[in-house]
Amino acid sequence: MSSQLNRRDWLRASGLLTAGFGLSRFTSAEAATPTAPLVSGFTNEFAFADDPFDKMPKLRARLFANENPLGISANAKAALIKATEVSNRYAWTEFGQLKTMIAADDMVKPENIMLSPGSSDVLMAAADYFAKGEGTILTSAMTYDDLLQRATKFGAKVEALPMTKDYKYDLAAIKARLTASAGRPDVKLVYIVNPNNPTGTILPTAELEAFCREVAPKVPVFIDEAYIDFYEPADRPKLGKLVAEGLNVILARTFSKIHGFAGLRLGYAIAQPDMLKTLHAYTNAEFAVSITTLMAGIASYKDTDWQNHCRAENAKARDYTTKTLTDMGYEVIPTHANFMLFPIRMKTKTFEGQMFAQGIGIQTRDFNGQPYCRVSIGTMDEMAIFVDGFKKVVG
23, 144: one domain? no
pLDDT at site 179: 82
**In the listed set 252, 271, 302, which residue is the last one of a domain according to the structure?**
302
- As a whole number, mean pLDDT of residues 231-259 equals 96
- As a whole number, mean pLDDT of residues 90-118 equals 95
Beta carbons of 363 and 38 less than 8 angstroms apart = no
The larger pLDDT score, comparing residue 32 to residue 58, is at 58
The C-alpha torsion from 57 through 395 and 388 to 377, rounded to 10°, is -70
323, 368: one domain? yes
Residue 1 falls inside a structural domain: no
30, 84: one domain? no
8 pLDDT more than 60: no
pLDDT at site 94: 86
In the sheet where 157-162 sits, what is the strand order? 113-116, 267-270, 249-254, 221-224, 187-193, 136-141, 157-162
pLDDT at site 53: 56
296, 162: one domain? yes
CATH number of residue 26's parent domain? 3.90.1150.10
184, 205: one domain? yes
pLDDT at site 93: 80
The residue type found at 271 is A
**In the listed set 267, 302, 337, which residue is the last one of a domain according to the structure?**
302
153, 285: one domain? yes
CATH number of residue 143's parent domain? 3.40.640.10
* Band of pLDDT at residue 133, cut at 50, 70 and 90: confident
CB-based contacts of 168, cutoff 8 Å, min separation 6? 196, 199, 201, 202, 203
Residue 366 falls inside a structural domain: yes
The number of distinct structural domains making up the chain is: 2
Q: Are strands 339-343 and 360-361 parallel, antiparallel or unpaired?
A: unpaired
The C-alpha torsion from 93 through 94 and 100 to 101, rounded to 10°, is 180
pLDDT at site 2: 34
153, 135: one domain? yes
Mean residue pLDDT across the chain? 88
Taking alpha carbons only, the member of 68, 70, 64, 51 closest to residue 11 is 64
pLDDT at site 198: 97
Coil, helix or strand at residue 378: coil
β-bridge mates for residue 340, sequence order: 375
Residue 2 falls inside a structural domain: no
pLDDT at site 18: 32
Residue 248 falls inside a structural domain: yes
105, 222: one domain? yes
**In the listed set 247, 274, 302, which residue is the last one of a domain according to the structure?**
302
β-bridge mates for residue 224, sequence order: 193, 252
pLDDT at site 12: 38
pLDDT at site 101: 97
Residue 206 falls inside a structural domain: yes
User: Widest CA span of the chain, in angstroms?
Assistant: 63
Cα angle for residues 335, 208, 107 (degrees, 5° grid): 100
Percent of the chain with pLDDT over 70: 85
363, 245: one domain? no
Beta carbons of 123 and 129 less than 8 angstroms apart = no
Supply the DSSP symbol for 361: E
Instruction: Residue 236: give the domain boundaries.
Output: 74-302
pLDDT at site 286: 92
pLDDT at site 292: 97
Q: Alpha helix locations (H) across 179-245? A: 205-215, 240-244
Q: What does the alpha-carbon distance between residue 294 and residue 316 come to, in Å, rounded to a whole number? A: 30
The residue type found at 148 is L
Q: Is 23 exposed, middle or buried (0-12, 13-18, 19+ CB in 10 A)?
A: buried
CB-based contacts of 201, cutoff 8 Å, min separation 6? 166, 167, 168, 195, 333, 334, 335, 336
β-bridge mates for residue 113, sequence order: 270
Taking alpha carbons only, the member of 285, 215, 204 closest to residue 252 is 285
pLDDT digits 0-9 by tens, 284-313 = 999 999 999 999 999 999 999 999 999 999
CA-to-CA separations, 252 to 1, 2, 221, 270, 327, in angstroms, rounded? 26, 27, 11, 7, 36
pLDDT digits 0-9 by tens, 36-84 = 334 444 444 445 556 655 555 578 999 999 999 999 999 999 999 999 9
375 pLDDT more than 60: yes
pLDDT at site 162: 96
pLDDT digits 0-9 by tens, 156-212 = 999 999 999 999 999 999 999 998 745 557 899 999 999 999 999 999 999 999 999
Percent of the chain with pLDDT over 90: 80
Q: What does the alpha-carbon distance between residue 188 and residue 133 come to, in Å, rounded to a whole number? A: 9
pLDDT at site 181: 44
Residue 113 falls inside a structural domain: yes
Residue 290 falls inside a structural domain: yes
| pTM listed for this prediction | 0.88
185, 261: one domain? yes
Q: Alpha helix locations (H) across the chain? A: 7-14, 52-55, 74-83, 95-106, 120-130, 146-153, 171-178, 205-215, 240-244, 273-280, 291-302, 304-327, 348-357, 380-394
238, 135: one domain? yes
32 pLDDT more than 50: no
352, 326: one domain? yes
3 pLDDT more than 90: no
Residue 270 falls inside a structural domain: yes
